[in-house]
């Protein structure tokens, strides 16, 4: 039975404030195989690591990130006070460059392009900005781009064909999903765990497509998925899953 790679979803986000350098470092510490992060664009065109379109949920601020400059975002406390209290007070929203530098030479990064951050601006949009950072850090072989937004992935295919791409999907017919992954020149499909079926696995295998799913935090659920032969599994608690895999539980 193939053992899936374990992806630290937004870093080790059960133990540390999600999408922060602390969460990414903790993901490395527990031995996660890959580190996933989400990116958004600020008002002044800087790529920051943040899941939501607003800063309300995970910081002590409020408002839309696209209406804030990088300097304004950096003033916020990203210690996720509503979840962790003051335990991680002083954490900041990292830039993509800062996050990738933590991982460079250690583990590969999955960078999710949020659908809301994709604009009509192909030349100066989030895709071009992300490619510029990846190239600046010479990490083309250490980064994969994932997204629900097919248009964004097609742009990456054009801008940086050497950077691996993966299509995330939630509710879509299998033939359409496999056609889409072929269209973007990828061999990686990331269906939500409720979409995993024998039929999907068989058709993906026949098409030479690897399957990775999300979000699995319970070792029992991981065991239930084990017979599908998944390539990777995203988890908010990567250490817990890795302990289960290592112990054989």
| pTM of the predicted structure, to 2 decimals | 0.97
pLDDT of residue 18: 98
| Catalytic residue (one of 25, 43, 51, 75) | 51
CB 25 within 8 A of CB 103: no
Beta-carbon contacts of 68 under 8 Å, excluding residues fewer than 6 positions away, are 42, 43, 55
Averaged pLDDT for residues 62-70: 98
Mean pLDDT of the chain: 96
Tell me the three state secondary structure of residue 18.
coil
State both tokens at 246.
């290592």
- Please indicate whether residue 9 is annotated as part of the active site: yes
CA dihedral 119, 122, 123, 128 (to 10 degrees): 80
- Which residues does 29 contact at the CB level (< 8 Å), separation at least 6? 12
pLDDT band at 247 (very low <50, low <70, confident <90, very high): confident
For residue 172, the model assigns a pLDDT of 85
241 within 8 A of 4, measured Cβ to Cβ: no
Q: pLDDT digits over 119-165, tens only?
A: 999 999 999 999 999 999 999 999 999 999 999 999 999 999 999 99
Decide if 51 contacts 126 (C-beta within 8 A).
no
Residue 234 is given by DSSP the state: E
Question: Which of the residues 4, 7, 8, 9 is marked catalytic?
Answer: 9
* 5-247 has CATH 3.40.50.80 classification: no
Question: pLDDT per residue over 165-181, tens digit each?
Answer: 999 999 889 999 999 99
Asked if residue 1 has pLDDT above 70, the reply is no
Question: What's the mean pLDDT in 173-192?
Answer: 96
Residues 212-238, mean pLDDT to the nearest whole number = 97
In sequence order, what E strands does the chain have?
5-8, 34-41, 47-49, 108-113, 143-147, 164-169, 188-191, 210-213, 232-235
pLDDT in tens, 67-105: 999 999 999 999 999 999 999 999 999 999 999 999 999
Is pLDDT at 237 greater than 70 in this prediction? yes
What's the pLDDT score for residue 183? 97
The answer to whether the bond into 215 is cis (omega within 30° of 0) is yes
pLDDT of amino acid 249 = 64
Distance CA 108, CA 75 (A): 28
Would you say 60 and 76 are in contact if contact means Cβ atoms under 8 Å apart? yes
Is residue 227 among the annotated active site residues?
A: no
- In this predicted structure, what is the pLDDT of residue 154? 98
């Amino acid at each position: 039975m193939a053992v899936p790679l374990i992806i630290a979803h937004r870093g080790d986000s059960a133990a540390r404030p999600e999408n922060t350098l602390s969460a990414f470092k903790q993901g490395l510490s527990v031995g996660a195989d890959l580190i996933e992060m989400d990116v958004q664009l600020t008002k002044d065109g800087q790529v920051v690591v943040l899941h939501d379109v607003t800063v309300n949920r995970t910081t002590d601020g409020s408002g839309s990130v696209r209406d804030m400059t990088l300097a304004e975002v950096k003033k916020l406390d990203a210690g996720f006070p509503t979840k962790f209290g003051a335990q991680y007070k002083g954490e900041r929203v990292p830039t993509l460059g800062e996050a990738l530098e933590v991982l460079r030479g250690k583990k590969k990064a999955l960078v999710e392009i949020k659908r809301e951050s994709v604009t009509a601006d192909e030349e100066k949009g989030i895709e071009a900005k992300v490619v510029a950072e990846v190239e600046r850090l010479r990490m083309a072989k250490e980064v994969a781009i994932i997204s629900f937004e097919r248009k964004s992935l097609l742009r990456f295919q054009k801008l940086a064909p050497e950077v691996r791409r993966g299509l995330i999907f939630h509710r879509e017919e299998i033939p359409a999903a496999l056609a889409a992954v072929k269209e973007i020149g990828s061999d990686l499909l990331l269906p939500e765990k409720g979409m995993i079926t024998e039929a999907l696995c068989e058709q993906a295998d026949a098409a030479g497509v690897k399957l990775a799913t999300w979000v699995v935090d319970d070792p029992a659920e991981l065991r239930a998925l084990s017979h599908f032969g998944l390539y990777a599994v995203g988890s908010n608690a990567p250490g817990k899953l890795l302990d289960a895999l290592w112990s054989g539980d």
